[in-house]
Amino acid sequence: DTGVSQDPRHKITKRGQNVTFRCDPISEHNRLYWYRQTLGQGPEFLTYFQNEAQLEKSRLLSDRFSAERPKGSFSTLEIQRTEQGDSAMYLCASSLVRGNTEAFFGQGTRLTVV
Amino acid sequence: QQPVQSPQAVILREGEDAVINCSSSKALYSVHWYRQKHGEAPVFLMILLKGGEQKGHDKISASFNEKKQQSSLYLTASQLSYSGTYFCGTEMSSYDKVIFGPGTSLSVIP
Protein backbone atom coordinates (compact mmCIF):
# COMPACT_ATOMS: atom_id res chain seq x y z
CA ASP A 1 0.00 0.00 0.00
CA THR A 2 1.43 3.37 -1.01
CA GLY A 3 -0.45 5.46 1.51
CA VAL A 4 -3.21 8.02 1.06
CA SER A 5 -3.46 9.30 -2.49
CA GLN A 6 -5.30 12.37 -3.71
CA ASP A 7 -6.24 13.38 -7.19
CA PRO A 8 -5.68 15.82 -8.78
CA ARG A 9 -2.64 17.36 -7.12
CA HIS A 10 -3.40 20.76 -8.56
CA LYS A 11 -6.59 22.30 -9.91
CA ILE A 12 -7.10 25.74 -11.40
CA THR A 13 -10.70 26.68 -12.02
CA LYS A 14 -12.71 29.73 -12.90
CA ARG A 15 -15.00 31.26 -10.31
CA GLY A 16 -18.42 29.72 -10.47
CA GLN A 17 -17.30 26.34 -11.76
CA ASN A 18 -17.77 23.07 -9.88
CA VAL A 19 -14.79 20.96 -8.87
CA THR A 20 -14.46 17.44 -7.48
CA PHE A 21 -11.51 15.95 -5.66
CA ARG A 22 -10.84 12.31 -4.93
CA CYS A 23 -9.13 10.65 -1.99
CA ASP A 24 -8.09 7.00 -1.78
CA PRO A 25 -7.29 6.13 1.82
CA ILE A 26 -5.04 3.36 3.09
CA SER A 27 -7.03 0.24 2.32
CA GLU A 28 -7.83 -1.04 5.80
CA HIS A 29 -8.53 2.40 7.27
CA ASN A 30 -12.15 2.92 8.18
CA ARG A 31 -11.96 6.60 9.13
CA LEU A 32 -11.43 9.33 6.54
CA TYR A 33 -11.06 13.06 7.10
CA TRP A 34 -11.13 16.09 4.84
CA TYR A 35 -9.29 19.22 5.91
CA ARG A 36 -8.61 22.57 4.25
CA GLN A 37 -5.35 24.43 4.79
CA THR A 38 -4.39 27.95 3.79
CA LEU A 39 -0.91 29.41 3.99
CA GLY A 40 0.36 29.78 7.52
CA GLN A 41 -2.63 28.07 9.10
CA GLY A 42 -3.29 24.65 10.57
CA PRO A 43 -5.50 22.12 8.81
CA GLU A 44 -9.13 23.20 9.22
CA PHE A 45 -11.61 20.39 9.75
CA LEU A 46 -14.24 20.01 7.02
CA THR A 47 -15.84 16.61 7.48
CA TYR A 48 -15.14 13.02 8.37
CA PHE A 49 -16.44 9.52 7.70
CA GLN A 50 -16.39 6.25 9.50
CA ASN A 51 -16.78 3.64 6.80
CA GLU A 52 -19.49 5.04 4.53
CA ALA A 53 -21.21 7.11 7.22
CA GLN A 54 -20.54 10.83 7.32
CA LEU A 55 -20.22 11.52 11.05
CA GLU A 56 -19.88 15.28 11.05
CA LYS A 57 -19.62 18.24 8.76
CA SER A 58 -18.12 21.51 9.95
CA ARG A 59 -20.74 24.15 10.70
CA LEU A 60 -18.42 26.63 8.97
CA LEU A 61 -18.80 24.73 5.73
CA SER A 62 -21.27 26.20 3.29
CA ASP A 63 -23.85 24.14 1.44
CA ARG A 64 -21.67 24.41 -1.65
CA PHE A 65 -19.42 21.73 -0.17
CA SER A 66 -20.45 18.09 -0.19
CA ALA A 67 -18.55 14.90 0.42
CA GLU A 68 -19.30 11.24 -0.12
CA ARG A 69 -17.68 7.96 0.66
CA PRO A 70 -19.63 5.29 -1.19
CA LYS A 71 -18.96 1.75 0.02
CA GLY A 72 -16.59 3.06 2.65
CA SER A 73 -13.61 3.12 0.33
CA PHE A 74 -12.56 6.21 -1.65
CA SER A 75 -14.10 9.59 -0.97
CA THR A 76 -14.95 12.60 -3.09
CA LEU A 77 -15.23 16.24 -2.09
CA GLU A 78 -17.23 18.48 -4.38
CA ILE A 79 -17.31 22.25 -4.31
CA GLN A 80 -20.07 23.87 -6.31
CA ARG A 81 -19.99 27.41 -7.67
CA THR A 82 -16.43 27.96 -6.53
CA GLU A 83 -15.40 31.31 -5.06
CA GLN A 84 -11.95 32.85 -4.77
CA GLY A 85 -12.06 32.24 -1.03
CA ASP A 86 -12.15 28.51 -1.72
CA SER A 87 -8.55 28.65 -2.92
CA ALA A 88 -6.59 26.43 -0.51
CA MET A 89 -4.91 23.07 -0.09
CA TYR A 90 -7.46 20.33 0.49
CA LEU A 91 -6.02 17.51 2.56
CA CYS A 92 -7.39 14.04 3.06
CA ALA A 93 -6.31 11.80 5.94
CA SER A 94 -7.23 8.28 6.98
CA SER A 95 -6.86 6.27 10.15
CA LEU A 96 -8.03 3.19 11.96
CA VAL A 97 -10.60 3.49 14.71
CA ARG A 98 -9.02 1.14 17.18
CA GLY A 99 -7.72 2.66 20.36
CA ASN A 100 -6.76 5.84 18.57
CA THR A 101 -4.11 5.59 15.97
CA GLU A 102 -2.40 8.19 13.89
CA ALA A 103 -3.93 9.79 10.85
CA PHE A 104 -1.96 9.52 7.62
CA PHE A 105 -2.26 12.47 5.28
CA GLY A 106 -2.28 12.53 1.53
CA GLN A 107 -0.24 15.08 -0.43
CA GLY A 108 -3.29 17.25 -0.90
CA THR A 109 -5.03 18.95 -3.79
CA ARG A 110 -4.14 22.58 -4.30
CA LEU A 111 -7.13 24.51 -5.59
CA THR A 112 -6.75 27.91 -7.20
CA VAL A 113 -9.92 29.78 -8.13
CA VAL A 114 -9.35 32.57 -10.61
CA GLN B 1 -12.56 24.31 20.09
CA GLN B 2 -9.32 24.87 18.21
CA PRO B 3 -6.34 24.28 20.50
CA VAL B 4 -3.95 27.13 21.19
CA GLN B 5 -0.25 26.74 20.43
CA SER B 6 2.73 28.70 21.68
CA PRO B 7 5.07 30.08 20.64
CA GLN B 8 3.96 31.05 17.13
CA ALA B 9 7.48 30.80 15.85
CA VAL B 10 10.92 29.93 17.14
CA ILE B 11 14.41 30.07 15.69
CA LEU B 12 17.07 27.77 17.09
CA ARG B 13 20.70 27.08 16.44
CA GLU B 14 21.64 23.46 15.86
CA GLY B 15 21.97 21.65 19.16
CA GLU B 16 19.62 23.91 21.09
CA ASP B 17 16.43 22.73 22.75
CA ALA B 18 12.85 23.89 22.23
CA VAL B 19 9.46 23.39 23.82
CA ILE B 20 6.17 23.81 21.97
CA ASN B 21 2.97 24.03 23.96
CA CYS B 22 -0.59 23.12 23.11
CA SER B 23 -3.59 23.87 25.28
CA SER B 24 -7.34 23.47 25.10
CA SER B 25 -10.29 25.01 26.88
CA LYS B 26 -12.09 21.65 26.79
CA ALA B 27 -11.29 18.33 28.41
CA LEU B 28 -9.14 16.27 26.11
CA TYR B 29 -9.03 12.58 25.33
CA SER B 30 -5.89 12.65 23.24
CA VAL B 31 -3.31 14.93 21.71
CA HIS B 32 -1.60 14.27 18.37
CA TRP B 33 1.60 15.94 17.21
CA TYR B 34 2.51 16.41 13.54
CA ARG B 35 5.31 18.13 11.65
CA GLN B 36 4.82 19.67 8.24
CA LYS B 37 7.59 20.81 5.94
CA HIS B 38 6.93 23.42 3.31
CA GLY B 39 4.96 22.00 0.40
CA GLU B 40 4.52 18.61 2.03
CA ALA B 41 1.77 16.83 3.92
CA PRO B 42 1.77 16.76 7.73
CA VAL B 43 3.68 13.78 9.13
CA PHE B 44 2.67 12.07 12.34
CA LEU B 45 5.09 12.30 15.27
CA MET B 46 3.23 10.84 18.24
CA ILE B 47 -0.10 10.50 20.00
CA LEU B 48 -0.73 10.84 23.72
CA LEU B 49 -3.85 9.53 25.40
CA LYS B 50 -5.33 10.85 28.63
CA GLY B 51 -3.58 9.48 31.65
CA GLY B 52 -0.71 11.97 31.79
CA GLU B 53 1.69 9.83 29.83
CA GLN B 54 4.89 10.93 28.26
CA LYS B 55 6.23 9.59 25.02
CA GLY B 56 9.27 10.04 22.94
CA HIS B 57 11.47 8.75 20.23
CA ASP B 58 14.95 9.84 19.37
CA LYS B 59 15.32 13.39 20.69
CA ILE B 60 11.66 14.36 20.40
CA SER B 61 9.31 13.69 23.29
CA ALA B 62 5.97 14.94 24.53
CA SER B 63 3.93 15.09 27.69
CA PHE B 64 0.20 15.36 28.28
CA ASN B 65 -1.27 16.88 31.41
CA GLU B 66 -4.89 15.84 31.27
CA LYS B 67 -5.95 17.97 34.24
CA LYS B 68 -4.51 21.13 32.75
CA GLN B 69 -5.64 20.16 29.23
CA GLN B 70 -2.13 20.85 28.01
CA SER B 71 0.51 19.05 26.05
CA SER B 72 4.12 19.99 25.40
CA LEU B 73 6.47 18.81 22.68
CA TYR B 74 10.15 18.75 23.60
CA LEU B 75 12.86 18.87 20.97
CA THR B 76 16.34 18.37 22.33
CA ALA B 77 19.68 18.89 20.60
CA SER B 78 17.83 20.17 17.53
CA GLN B 79 18.95 19.19 14.07
CA LEU B 80 18.48 21.03 10.78
CA SER B 81 15.93 18.37 9.80
CA TYR B 82 13.67 19.47 12.66
CA SER B 83 12.74 22.64 10.78
CA GLY B 84 9.09 22.85 9.85
CA THR B 85 5.73 23.71 11.29
CA TYR B 86 4.51 21.69 14.23
CA PHE B 87 0.82 21.15 14.77
CA CYS B 88 -0.98 19.67 17.70
CA GLY B 89 -4.32 18.01 17.09
CA THR B 90 -6.81 17.28 19.84
CA GLU B 91 -9.72 14.89 20.33
CA MET B 92 -12.42 15.23 22.98
CA SER B 93 -13.27 11.53 22.93
CA SER B 94 -12.12 8.33 21.31
CA TYR B 95 -14.71 8.74 18.56
CA ASP B 96 -14.23 12.44 17.98
CA LYS B 97 -12.58 14.20 15.07
CA VAL B 98 -9.07 15.64 15.31
CA ILE B 99 -8.95 19.45 15.45
CA PHE B 100 -5.60 21.08 14.72
CA GLY B 101 -4.01 24.14 16.25
CA PRO B 102 -2.60 27.03 14.20
CA GLY B 103 0.92 25.63 14.27
CA THR B 104 4.36 26.63 15.53
CA SER B 105 7.01 27.43 12.94
CA LEU B 106 10.40 26.06 13.94
CA SER B 107 13.57 27.06 12.11
CA VAL B 108 16.88 25.44 12.96
CA ILE B 109 19.91 27.28 11.65
CA PRO B 110 23.55 26.12 11.54
Which residues does chain A have within 8 Å of residue B91's beta carbon, measured at their own beta carbons? 100
pLDDT in tens, chain A (114 residues): 579 999 999 999 999 999 999 999 999 899 999 999 999 899 999 999 999 999 999 987 889 999 999 988 999 999 999 999 999 999 999 998 765 678 899 999 999 999
> What pLDDT score was predicted for residue A86?
96
Confidence of residue B36 (pLDDT cuts 50, 70, 90): very high
**Burial track B41-72 (b if 16+ CB lie within 10 A, e otherwise):** bbebbbbbbbeeeeeeeeebbbbbbbeebbbb
Mean pLDDT, rounded, of chain A: 92
Position B70 pLDDT exceeds 80:
yes
Strand partners for A45: A35
> What pLDDT score was predicted for residue B84?
97
**Which one of B30, B97, B102 has the shortest CB-CB distance to A100?**
B30
Instruction: State pLDDT tens for residues B3-26.
Output: 999 999 999 999 999 999 999 998
Asked if the C-beta of B72 comes within 8 angstroms of chain A's C-beta atoms, the answer is: no
How close, in Å, is residue A7 to chain B by CA atoms?
14
